[in-house]
Amino acid sequence: MRAVIASAAGGPEVLSLGEVADPVPAPGEVLVEVVATAVNKADTLQRQGHYAPPPGTSEVIGLECSGRIVGLGAGVEGWSVGDEVCALLTGGGYAELVAVPAGQLLPVPAGIDLVTAAALPEVACTVWSNVFMVAGLQPGETLLVHGGAGGIGTFAIQLASALSARVLTTAGSAEKLAVCAELGADVTINYRDDDFVAVVKDVTDGHGADVVLDNMGAAYLDRNLDALATEGRLVIIGMQGGTKGELDIGKLLRKRGAVIATTLRARPPVEKEAICAAVAEHVWPLVAQGAVRPVVHTTLPLAEVAEAHRLMDQSEHVGKIVLTVAD
């Protein structure tokens, strides 16, 4: 089959289409003919050699896809050849075929076309699992979303807003902040110009954010604690600002706060299955109603994967970058 291969670790130019062996579905897996996939920050890290796939998984980049089932491994029930699906992958999405555990399949939400559906699994599963399952955001609470104009950010703003939280968000330009506001953010903060801690304190009358969804890691650790409300939950999902920071435990315990960090890719299949089931139950109805929509910056053919990665490296995008695989 055709798949994206990397000639070396490096910039976007190392990516091109090549031939690799077809995947074979193991027991409990299905074989999906990929119609579209989408670019994630993790893909750019894998390309650079900073994020190796878990042992035993595909070397091909790609954490999500949409497509049609073309084969069933032993013991798979509830899915049939020909079903249109989208899927949360551990890898292998930038290819014509991918094998995926049946528990990581999701139906295509009503009203969403099959290509656009590729933009949903990673953001929906990451945001639902972290903001709602782990941090337990409640209606009426305040969520601070860092990087609100990215793939994760555009989804988090909409989902939290649809579920009656107050949403504050950071982004790096006035144009991106305007999109965040249009998606439902109540307060937008330009992280280049403004101190997000001061703004969060100001707009919450000193209360702070009940939940912070963080992509910056070390660089924001101390300021995120300052922005956190009493009994607040800081959920770190990205390390764009480094991995090693200093945690002021005094601040944390005075606030009875929690600092939690997770990565979806490394979770065992049974946890991914539970997350996918929860997303289908709680998130897909909101997508079908139009209360939460996939935000797609651009859709490119898989042959233009290097340009897609360049866009993400330069952060020129708002929302997701989709790659079409099948015609």
Ligand X SMILES: NC(=O)c1ccc[n+]([C@@H]2O[C@H](COP(=O)([O-])OP(=O)(O)OC[C@H]3O[C@@H](n4cnc5c(N)ncnc54)[C@H](OP(=O)(O)O)[C@@H]3O)[C@@H](O)[C@H]2O)c1
Q: Give contact residues for ligand X (rule: CB under 6 A).
A: 40-42, 122, 126, 146-147, 149-153, 170-173, 176, 191, 215-216, 237-238, 240, 262-264, 312, 315
Give the shortest CB-49-to-ligand X separation in angstroms.
15
Q: Which is nearer to ligand X, 63 or 76 (CB)?
A: 63
What's the half-sphere exposure (Cβ side, CA atoms, 13 Å) at 130? Answer: 31
Task: Quote the tokens at residue 115.
Answer: 């290509």
Name the minimum Å distance from CB 283 to ligand X: 15
* Residue 163 burial (CB count, 10 A): 19
- Which CB sits closer to ligand X, 166 or 267? 267
Residue 131 vs 229, nearer CB to ligand X: 131
42 versus 98: smaller Cβ distance to ligand X: 42
Nearer to ligand X, 48 or 84 (CB): 48
Q: Tell me the closest approach of the beta carbon of residue 94 to ligand X, in angstroms.
A: 15
Q: Give 57 or 262: the residue with its C-beta nearer to ligand X.
A: 262
Euclidean distance between CA atoms 286 and 158, whole angstroms: 10
Alpha-helix residue ranges (DSSP H) falling in 172-313: 174-182, 196-203, 221-227, 249-254, 269-282, 284-289, 305-313
Q: What is the residue whose two structure tokens read 């999906």?
A: 32
Q: Nearest CA to 30 among 57, 68, 61?
A: 68
Q: How near is the Cβ of 282 to ligand X at its closest, in Å?
A: 18
CB of 176 to ligand X, least distance (A): 5
CB 128 within 8 A of CB 272: no
Minimum distance from residue 107 beta carbon to ligand X (Å): 21
Residues 6 or more apart whose CB falls under 8 angstroms from that of 194 comprise: none
**CA–CA separation, 71 and 31 (whole Å):** 5
34 beta partners: 67
